[in-house]
Each structure stands twice: as C-alpha cells, then as structure tokens.
Amino acid sequence: MNRAFDSYFGPPSEPINVADFLQQANSAVLSGSFTNASWEQLTSEHRNAVEAEINESISDLRSSLEQVWDNPILSAHVLRQHESTVAFVRSQADTPAPKGRKRKRHDAPEGSEYAQEVLQLQEKLDGVNLRCWQLTMESALCMRAAKNSDYNALDAPKKAGTGVLHTLDLDHGNIGGTHSSTPDSLRSPSPNAIPYPNAVISLTVYNRISYLPSCLTRSSQHAVLSTQTLGDLLRVLPCASSNIPMEELDAEGDISGYNVTDQTGEHAGCLFSIEDRIYGDGGENDDYAEKLIAHFQKLPQDKRPQVKKALTSANETTFNVLTLRMHQPYWILHQSNCEHFFTIDQIRHAPFRSNPMKPLNIIYRLAHASDPPSGYPLTLHLAPTVQDLCRACGKVPAVHSIVGDIRLGESPCLLCGPCWRTMGPPKNTQGVMVVPLVIPFVNH
C-alpha cells in the first residue's frame, strides 16, 4: 500500500507556459501590483504595531519550543508521549506494528527532582485548546516507518552546474545579472545582454524499484533555472548507469578488463517525453527520438501514442520554452535502457530584494540568505544509496566483483578493497577477472 501511494501522481495542474509565467510575474513586480492594497491603506503607526505583534508572537513561540527541546528531560517526555499516542492509535485501528526491536521505556520515577517540571509541562500542553491536530483512528492509514527515500544524504544543497540566479532590485529599479536564451552550458556573460530575471523550477526525480518495476521511488530533488536546458538537468541526475566503467576488449573481441577512469559519463543517447513531444539527443544517425517514434509506428493504430519529435534537441531546449504541468510525470530515457521519471513541484519567480514586511502574492517569494546565487542546477535532496556489503567481512560496502576465482567459493563474489588485498593475487590468473563496482553518487 505504501509503495502504491508513493507511485501515485496528480491530479496534474493546468498547463503552465514558463515564458508566459515569467512575463506576467515580471510585469507584476515592475508595476508594483504585487503589493496588498489593504496593507497600503493602513497608517504607518498601525503597520508598525502589526509588525511588532507578529515579531513578538514568533519570538514567543520560538522561545517556548527551544526551552522544551533544549531540556533533555522535557524533550524525552514529549517524545514518549508521542510514541504512546501512536502505539495506542495503531492498536485501536488493528494495524500491524512496525518491525524492529521495541525500545525500552524509561519513565521518570515518582518523587524525582524532575517530576514537578514534567508535570508543569504536561499541564501546559493539556491546556491548549487546539484539538484539530490530535491523532485519530483514521491517522493509522497514513502512518508508516521511515523509508530510505525519506532520508537526505546531503547536509546542504549541492551546486552541480554553472547557472547564475538573476534577481530584481526593486529599491533601485533595476535588474541584476544578465539573461540570454542561449543555454547556460553554452553561453558566456555579455554586458550587452537583455537583463531579465529567471524562474526557478523545482522538480523530483523517481526511479523504478528493481524488485517492483511497476512502482517508483524518489531518487532526488533538484532546482533548475528557466534558462537552463534539459541536457543541463540530465547531466546532474544521480544515476549508476552514468558511472559504469568502460569495457576493454582484446584482439579477439572478448572482455579483458575494465577502465575505471574512463566512464560513460556523457549521455550520448537520451530523450525526454514532455507533453506529447519527444526531445532527442540531436544525433544525425542515432537520434533516440526518431528511434522511439519508429518503434511506435510498429504498434497497432489504436495503441499508438500520439507523440511527435520536437524541433529542438534536449541540449538545445530550455525550460522557458516549455509548457509544463505540476505533478505530471515526464519520462527520461538515457544510456540505452535506463529510465527515470520527473515531476514539477514548483515554478517560482526569481527572488527579489524589497521590504521584507511587505505582503506578497503567493507566486512570489523574498530573497533569503540561504538561496545560492550560483551553481544551478542544485541538488536539494538525494536518497542514500544502499550498497552490497563485502561477502568476506560483512562490514563495509563491496567495491570489487571477483569472477572466476575458485578460492572464494562463488562467482561472482563481492569483496571490499582490504579483503581483496588480503586474499592476494591468485596463482592462476587465467579466467579470473576483477570487475569494479559502480561508485554511487556522493556529495562533498
């Protein structure tokens, strides 16, 4: 059931033309229509009073939360209460308990020095009149243990490209940065370029589950600029197929080894399927888009997808010329038979500098110190890679696949570097091959 929920997308939004969105957003910002008329009608004293009340309320909430979470006794009590509530809801809803060893609960003994402090916190929590967030029996349908895709292997956004975020400076009436319709990967800064800000597009990439090919799991999340190309996105996708070592052939054409330093890297063949348009790799003889359409022509007429080859390739198509739908899965094919799917999560106007207390429409957001000014596409989330352990020590991930070595008792046999060095070279090297395993995408 959980896998089915993760593989369900939609409903999709109405088609959004990125170029039209940018034009409307820029016009609204430059004309000042993003301001709230009701807010502007207030007197300066009234506005100052509202701002002071908002800041004070946030400070009080933050202070009360920090007092609880910074105190290990109080935070442990809150966590125990939450676990007890979840366990009660599960038992009443007759749902299977999560697998794994149950934690032993350590309740504070009565009469301890912390009992009064905990009782005061509990009385304060019981006095809260807000009841809409309490867990009910129906909440059990949405409870599950954390999965691998829920964790983030990155502690900060990873800069994977050269794209620069252009911003509006409303205080000075100008636009910072340069803009060009040429893809970021091909253009160089020009002082004569027309200044215009970007749109930032957030998207999520999904992969098929090897043992459940009909289900998908989240692999990563990225932020790309509207001036960047589909090829710029493809180059930053974490994919094992892009790190496969190249085969070395002998005079007879048999595999004699692998070249670890020369990996497949570049995506010689790829395609994107977006809104009934196929964006290929632009090859003259082996364009993936033409191959896919030729394959569709062999299907019966009633089962033939109504798609057309786009006029531009993936490396020439920028996001600002596309029409996209939110939460609609789009298909990526590269490296011969490696598939990915991606959905658009958000299309937002580039951040701009202005009065931070001025109300804004929902399609805009303010610049923040955490917004990287460059390095787009950014990798925002990366699911940890699950690696096979060494068959000898069973403690560290394997880096070699040993084929044809009778000393190991199985072929292929996965070993880590230290264990393979400890084994030493085989006496008869004929027929023994050391195959390097794919190194997962790692952030530094």
Q: Which of 340, 208, 343 is nearest to 267 (CA)?
A: 340
User: Residue 40 burial (CB < 10 Å; 0-12/13-18/19+)?
Assistant: exposed
Q: Which of 379, 424, 387 is nearest to 405 (CA)?
A: 424
Q: What is the pLDDT along the chain (444 residues), one digit of tens a residue?
A: 667 777 788 889 899 888 888 887 777 666 665 555 567 778 888 888 888 887 777 777 888 889 899 989 899 999 998 888 888 888 877 655 556 555 555 554 444 455 788 888 888 888 888 777 778 888 887 777 778 888 888 888 898 888 888 765 544 444 444 433 344 443 433 333 334 567 888 999 999 888 888 888 899 999 998 889 999 999 888 888 877 777 777 777 777 777 766 554 455 688 999 999 999 888 777 788 888 888 898 999 888 888 899 999 998 999 989 999 999 999 999 888 889 999 999 887 754 443 333 333 333 444 445 678 888 999 999 998 888 899 999 888 898 898 888 888 888 899 999 999 998 888 777 778 888 887 665 543
Beta carbons of 58 and 52 less than 8 angstroms apart: no
At 222, give phi and psi (nearest 5°).
-140, 160
- pTM (2 d.p.): 0.72
